[in-house]
């Protein structure tokens, strides 16, 4: 069995793959937030009894989000291949994985935003309305800021899910740590490589979670529970 440390070329591959994973997760998270946050906000404010009730729109958005969430990621990967190819030119590789990852995360982010914003005290919304706040002002100055700690925790969870999904994307040629684990670890019986990628993934998840917890705690301004 060859020594892991001596295997310089392989170490370099793992290093690159870690970078690819971070790149896939980072970019897909950014896209998912850009689409998912407004979608989640719309889900909340268009609900009956909220600040901009639009019952039909709400029902349509809600069923789109539910559909998105019910498709398993592996199936979504294949389903989206033609669209990915059209959009980014390739349907595999690190770049090809970003689009399906983002699409998978959008409904998740939307639900995270929805459940966080629903926790905002209706009394506070009413107080803002009594001051003449417009719906946009209520979204920007009440709903989002007041649920910021909960949102941070939800986004952390999204990022962690994306690390897992990115490994799955890697398995079908998406690059990143999942790709290395499959091609070198599994197919070439390099248990040490398999183990190393898993350890790196665990560390990535731990760092993300700790960072998220820390930011959420700070954002909760010393309240007993960072809800």
Partner 1 sequence: MVEVKNLGKEFVTPNGKITALQNISFAVAKGEVFGIMGASGAGKSTLVRCLNYLERPTTGQVRIAGQNLAELSPRQLALVRQQIGMIFQHFNLLKLRTVAQNIAFPLEIAGVPKEETQQRVDELLDIVGLTDKAQAYPHQLSGGQKQRVGIARALACRPRLLLSDEATSALDPETTQSILTLLKKINRNLGVTIILITHELPVIRQVCDRVGVLEQGRLVEMGSVTDVFNQPHAAATRRLITTSGLVPPTTARTKSAVTRSTLAAGEVV
Consecutive H or E run containing 83 = helix 73-88
Min separation Cβ 127 and partner 1, Å: 4
* Cβ 213 to partner 1 shortest distance, Å: 17
Tell me: does residue 220 bind partner 1 (CB under 8 A): yes
Is residue 162 within 8 A of residue 25, CB to CB? The reply is yes
For residue 104, the minimal CB distance to partner 1 (Å) is 31
Does 13 sit near partner 1 (CB under 8 A)?
no
Count of residues that interact with partner 1, criterion CB under 8 A: 25
The residue assigned the tokens 């709400």 is 58
Nearer to partner 1, 127 or 202 (CB): 127
CA neighbor of 27 nearest in space, from 144, 140, 175: 175
| 219 is an interface residue for partner 1 by CB under 8 A | yes
Cα 193–196–202 angle (5° rounding)? 145
Applying the rule CB under 8 A, the residues between 176 and 215 that interact with partner 1 are: none
Tell me, letter by letter, the H, E, C secondary structure of 40-76: HHHHHHCCCCCCCCCHHHHHHHHHHHHHHHHCCHHHH
Cα–Cα distance, 111 to 66 (Å, whole number): 9
The region of 102-110, 136-144, 183-191, 204-212 touching partner 1 under the rule CB under 8 A is 136-144
* Nearest Cα to Cα of residue 162 among 33, 14, 61: 33
Closer to partner 1 by CB, 176 or 226: give it.
Answer: 226
Please tell me whether residue 56 binds partner 1 under the rule CB under 8 A.
no
Strands (E), the chain: none
Asked whether position 123 contacts partner 1 by CB under 8 A, the answer is: yes
Is residue 148 close enough to count as binding partner 1 by CB under 8 A?
A: yes
Residue among 63, 66, 134, 191 that touches partner 1 (CB under 8 A)? 134
Q: Which of residues 105 and 151 has its CB atom nearest to partner 1 in the complex? A: 151
Instruction: Give the DSSP letter of residue 226.
Output: -
Residues that bind partner 1 (CB under 8 A): 121, 123-124, 126-134, 137, 141-142, 145-146, 148-149, 219-224
């Amino acid at each position: 069995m060859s020594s892991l440390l001596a295997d310089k070329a392989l170490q370099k591959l793992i290093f690159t793959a870690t970078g690819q994973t971070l790149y896939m997760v980072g970019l897909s998270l950014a896209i998912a937030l850009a689409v998912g946050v407004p979608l989640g906000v719309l889900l909340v404010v268009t609900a009956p009894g909220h600040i901009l009730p639009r019952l039909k729109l709400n029902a349509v958005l809600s069923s789109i989000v539910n559909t998105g969430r019910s498709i398993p990621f592996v199936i979504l990967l294949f389903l989206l291949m033609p669209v990915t190819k059209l959009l980014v030119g390739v349907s595999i590789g690190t770049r090809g994985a970003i689009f399906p990852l983002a699409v998978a995360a959008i409904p998740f982010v939307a639900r995270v935003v929805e459940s966080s914003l629903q926790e905002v005290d209706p009394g506070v919304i009413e107080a803002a309305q009594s001051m003449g706040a417009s719906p946009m002002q209520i979204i920007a100055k009440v709903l989002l800021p007041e649920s910021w700690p909960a949102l941070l925790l939800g986004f952390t969870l999204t990022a962690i899910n994306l690390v897992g999904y990115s490994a799955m994307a890697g398995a079908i040629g998406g690059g990143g740590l999942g790709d290395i684990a499959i091609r070198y670890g599994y197919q070439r019986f390099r248990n040490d490589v398999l183990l190393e990628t898993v350890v790196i993934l665990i560390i990535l998840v731990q760092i993300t979670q700790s960072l998220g917890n820390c930011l959420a705690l700070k954002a909760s301004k010393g309240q007993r529970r960072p809800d």
